[in-house]
Amino acid sequence: MTSPDLAAANIDKIATMFPGVTTEAIDAEGNQARVVDFDLLRQELSGRVVEGPQERYQLDWPGKRVAAFSANAPIAKTLRPMREESVDFDSSKNLFIEGDNLDALKLLQESYLGKIRVIYIDPPYNTGSDRFVYPDSYATDTGTYLAQSGQVNDEGVRLKTSVESDGRYHSDWLSMMYPRLKLARNLLTDDGLLFVSIDSHEVHNLRKICDEIFGAGSHKNTIAVRRGIKNVQAQFEDLSALSQGHEYILLYARSSEVRLPKLSLVHEDRKPGKWDTYWRGTDRPTMRYELLGVTPESGQWRWERGRSLEAVANYERFLAQVEGGLSLDDYYLDHLTATNVKLNFVRRSDDGTVQYYVPPSEGKLLSDNWMDITLSGNETEEFDTEKSTALLQRIVRWACGPDEIVLDFFAGSATTGHAVMNVNAADGGSRRYVLVQLGEKPNEKSAAAKAGAGTIASVSRNRLRKAGSAIREGAGSGGDLCDVGFRALKVDTTNMTDVLRTPDETDQTSLSGLEDSVKPGRTGEDLLFQVLLDWGLDVGVSIAVEQVEGHEVFVVEDGALVACFESSVTTELVRILATREPLRAVFRDSGFASDDARINAQQIFKELSPSTDVKAI
């Protein structure tokens, strides 16, 4: 008997917190062992890119370390409201964010940490014909890539006769995906799920980086989904490859302990119970025994003897209790409802066949084969390859509870938002969506460009408006209860000016410009959303704008937070707001006439609402 292996236990604890830092190595005795990659662990805990030349089992590519570092690198940005692009801005809890999704994911880290139940993304497939426009600072030029991948020497002379362009395509795509997936994992609830659509070009690499970020044990399924096939190959006698008739959805959980809910395809009408043959062709002598006067000479009975005899007794009990009244289906369902126990029944039919009862079914249990559903939607005029709402509705209905949040940070045509609204309208749920889409111009050859679309983000918002209107109209008098709006925001630079200057850079004439740290042109609503992010508050909270003593005051979540960012804050205004006893109050620092006025405001809150957290920005 040996004492517990504390080192192994500590490695397990580290793997729970940082799944990507454990790997495999050969120990001193020549055995394969699970170990901690301290270079990666140091990188998780440090603000620097670390170097580590030791070889190990892992997926690697030029630029990986810098890509991993970029996930932790802070940014001086914020989310600014776009009220004119929104629908039901003040009350809707849905979000549409325009901007680089890497920035958006960083900005949402505090407000939505551990709050997202489902993430679905449909990233660029990296086929060579598609394109991904994410201007990350770590994107490498050709010269840097050749040096990092060992294709040129110190003098820049190429060591290979041809440029490995395919390798760079993979490296750029992996560097784009890696930090986004790392940040996305933080946002998932403990039982949260990630769904990623992908095709054969990058599915192998995507699986490897997801294994590294989430842990290999968190991979639940690789789902196959049917895609439309173009029959252009029919004109040729031979082919370079068969047409691809399906794509994939990788399904990962926040941790390996997560259990998935059962997934069924609901029948339009419930299928009644039926009797089926109890004998099976599988040849197991131990499962051949006398039952109802019959002993098989080959094959086997479906269940072991004890369960079979109990099923016979259940059927005899049914016959004794019910005489020409209740059907076996009703008897089974009544017992199931009352006891939550599924009864088995076995009988011998009039022709002497031993049969078992197959209960009524309201749906068909589904596997990772989703070939019953079509991948592409063709539901918009502007997009050629958007996913179908039926596909997203299956995911949302299956994996997301009625009050939970769905995130899609490659929003594209906004199918995810459309699907969330459809499912809510169908079952009365109040699910919320958070969509992120880069404000890029559509490819000039795309249907969106031909339709005159300015940006993909604008097309996405337009689809949400149309879908929301249709759902509200279809709901009739109950349409006002559906949240079919969205709060439009955009990623932008911080609202605060850079006031860090050396004495040599500051003269007497510029001192007055340093009094207010807020950039010109930024509104009170801009400042409010930066406060929400800084405090880690939900960006989807309800907001009301009031006039108090002639000042614009923002009242958030029925008074949980009050804010006034005007250039002049009076003592009377402060006193009125303090009597409301909010949890938090925030003002513009330059709105106070002096430091004494700001200190006096804090004293007023201490007297009238001592539990209020008061801040000035």
Mapping DSSP to helix (H, G, I), strand (E, B) and coil, where does residue 360 land? Answer: coil
pLDDT exceeds 80 at position 519: yes
pLDDT at res. 605: 95
Residue 6 is predicted with a pLDDT of 55
Residues facing residue 116 across a β-bridge: 188
3-state SS string over 36-94? ECHHHHHHHHCCCCCCCCCCCCCCCCCCHHHHHHHHHCCCCEEEEECHHHCECCCCCCC
Three-state helix/strand/coil letters over 289-304: CCECCECCCCCEECCC
Closest CA to 183 of 276, 110, 285, 291: 110
pLDDT tens digits for range 180-206: 999 999 999 999 999 999 998 899 999
Buried/exposed 332-348: b ≥16 CB within 10 Å, e otherwise: bbeeeeeeeeebbbbbb
Tokens read off for 457: 């983000």
CA distance 471 to 476: 9
Residues 229, 235, 241, 245, Cα dihedral to 10°: 10
- Name the CATH architecture for the domain at 71-230+242-263+367-491: 3-Layer(aba) Sandwich (3.40)
pLDDT digits (tens, 9 = 90+) for 275-297: 999 999 888 899 999 999 999 99
Q: Hey, where are the domains in the chain?
A: 6-58, 71-230+242-263+367-491, 265-360, 522-616
Least confident segment among 11-15, 416-420, 483-487, 559-563:
11-15
> Tokens standing for 375?
């991948």
pLDDT of 392 above 70: yes
Which residue in 427, 401, 431, 438 sits closest to 416, CA to CA?
431
Of residues 149, 186, 184, 176, the one with CA closest to residue 164: 149
pLDDT digit string, tens, across residues 30-52: 777 788 888 888 878 776 555 56
pLDDT of 194: 98
* Whether this model's pTM surpasses 0.85: no
Instruction: State the pLDDT at residue 159.
Output: 42
Between 56 and 256, the more confident residue is 256
Average pLDDT, whole number, for the chain? Answer: 84
| Cβ proximity of 212 and 20 under 8 Å | yes
* CB-side neighbour CA atoms (13 Å) of 587: 23
